[in-house]
Amino acid sequence: MNALETTVLSQISIHDMSPFDFLKGIGGLPAYASRALVCPGLVVAGCQSTDSLQSLQQNFHWLQKLQIGAQELTVLEGENLLRSLTHPVPSTVLLRFPFFLENGWPISFFLSRNMEQLVSAIGCGWDSIATPRPDIANIFDDKHYVRCLALKLNLHKAFPAWQFISSNLQDLYSARKRILATADPPTDTVFLKVHDFDGGEGILRWERSTPQEKVMAYAEKYLHRGLIMDAGYPREDFGMQEFSLKVMINENGYEPLYVSRQRIRNDAHVGNEVALGETLLRTELYESLLGLVDPICRDAVKRGYGKGRSRTMGVDFMVVPNSGGHKILLLEINARTTAADYAMAVCLQAAPRFGGNAAVIMENLNNLPNGIDHDSLRDRFLHGTAWDGTNKPGFILSNAACLAYGKITAFAIGKDMAEANEVFRRLMPESRQKHATALDARA
C-alpha cells in the first residue's frame, strides 16, 4: 500500500470546526463536521434539530449504498463536538474509542487546536492522532512564522513580497509602498491577512481604488492581532491560479502525494479539483515547487511533525504568469485536514470503478431551498446526474447537516477531469464554471 492509499484508511473522524472562533457568525460552519461522511471509518457529527438529523442519516445511508465513506455514523446533540465529547458524563461514543484505536484506527481531527482536552479524556497519546500536535501545528499554520522560517532556510523568494505589521496605520501604508516597489512580478494590489487565522477569513484585497475607509475599518478590527501583507495577483488581472500540494510526513522523511487545484471565487475558496492518472500541473512547475517545499518539509521532519505516525501537510501556492513563463509563489501551510482531503478520499474510493483512475470536482453549494431534506434535494437538484457507484460519471453529496443553513457539499466524479467537468457543467450555472485550466499538463 502506497502513502496516498493510506490517506483513506479507516479512521475516527472528529472534524469539529467550532475552534475556528474567528468565524463565528457564519451560518453552519460548525455543522461542517458532517463533510467527513466521505471518509472511511467512524464519523462523529453533531446536529441541532430533527430535520438536520434526518438529512444527515439520509446522506449517510445513500453513501453506504454507493460504498463510499463512513461505515459508521455517530451523531451527538449540538454542533460543538469537543464540548459534547468532553462533557463530565462520558458519551457512549467516547467510551467506544479505545476499541477502534486498538484496531489501528487513528483519530482524525480537522485541526489540533484546543484538542488536548479530548486527547486526555480519551486516554491516548498523540501517536494515535492523525493530526499534528498543537505545538508543532501552530508553527506551520502561522503565516508570519512560516515566512520567517522560509527566510531562515534561504528561501528568500518563496513567498510573494511581504511584511508583518502590528503597530499602526502609518506602518500599514509604508509597508504597502515598499511591497509594491519590490513585488516580482510587478502588481498594484496587496492582500492583508491575519497571521494566525486559518482558511480564507480575515483577508482584505487592497487595490489602488480601495476606499481608505475600508482599509481603516479593517485595520481597526485586526491590526492589533498582527497582519501579513502580501503582494497580490488577482486572477482576473494576472490569470493566476491557486493549487495545494499534499505531503505525507513521517519520522524519517516525507513524500509528496498529489496536487489539487483550488476553486476560487471572489478571493474565497469554494472547492477543490483532484485527479488520479493525470497531472494538474506541468512537470517543470511541479519540479520547481518541490525545490521550494523541500527545506520546509525537512524542517517539519526534524521538529517531529510525523513522530509516531505519518501525518499530512498541505502547502498552498499560486502560479503567476510573467514574461518568462510562470512563477510559483507559496501562500501558506495548513498543518491540518483540508478540503482537498475530502475530494481525494472520494477520488481514491471511486477510482476502482473507473479502472484505477478518477477525477473529482468538489464545491460547496449555498442558497439552497429552505426546508429541503437531503433525499429531496438529491432527487430534485441532481436532475438524474446522481452517481450510481459504477463507471458512469455523476454527483454525490455530503455535509448534509448544513442543509439547515442552505448549504451542502457536492462532488462531481468522472474517469478524468474532462468528464468530471462535463458532469459539473450539466449541473452548475455558467457563472460557477469559470475556473481556468491553462496550467493543466495536457495544455
Sorting pLDDT into bands at 50, 70 and 90, what band is 174? very high
Sorting pLDDT into bands at 50, 70 and 90, what band is 149? very high
Task: Flag whether pLDDT at 233 surpasses 60.
Answer: yes
Radius of gyration of the chain (CA): 21
Show the cell assigned to 226. 498582527
Sorting pLDDT into bands at 50, 70 and 90, what band is 204? very high
The average pLDDT across 369-394 equals 90
The average pLDDT across 46-55 equals 87
Cis-peptide into 185, omega within 30 deg:
yes
- Containing 72, the helix (H) or strand (E) segment is strand 72-77
Q: Which residue has the cell 509604508?
A: 174
The pLDDT score that the predictor gives to residue 187 is: 97
Least confident of 29-33, 152-156, 299-303: 29-33
The pLDDT score that the predictor gives to residue 366 is: 85
The pLDDT score that the predictor gives to residue 80 is: 78
Domains and CATH numbers, the chain: 3-132 (3.40.50), 161-232 (3.30.1490.20), 238-432 (3.30.470.20)
**Average pLDDT along the chain:** 89
Q: Which residue has the cell 515547487?
A: 289
Give the Cα-Cα-Cα angle 178, 179, 185 (nearest 5 degrees): 135
Sorting pLDDT into bands at 50, 70 and 90, what band is 150? very high
DSSP for 20-36 reads: -GGGTTSTTSGGGGGGG
SS3 for 142? coil
Show the cell assigned to 61. 445511508
Least confident of 186-190, 234-238, 344-348: 234-238
Phi first, then psi, for residue 13 (nearest 5°) are: -95, 115
Show the cell assigned to 25. 457568525
The pLDDT score that the predictor gives to residue 97 is: 86
Task: Flag whether pLDDT at 431 surpasses 60.
Answer: no
Task: Flag whether pLDDT at 53 surpasses 50.
Answer: yes
Q: Which residue has the cell 483532484?
A: 274
Sorting pLDDT into bands at 50, 70 and 90, what band is 438? very low
The pLDDT score that the predictor gives to residue 25 is: 58
Task: Flag whether pLDDT at 277 surpasses 90.
Answer: yes
SS3 for 266? coil
The pLDDT score that the predictor gives to residue 54 is: 94
Task: Flag whether pLDDT at 392 surpasses 50.
Answer: yes
168: left (phi over 0), alpha (psi -120 to 50) or beta: beta
DSSP 3-state percent helix, strand, coil across the chain (nearest 5): 40, 25, 35
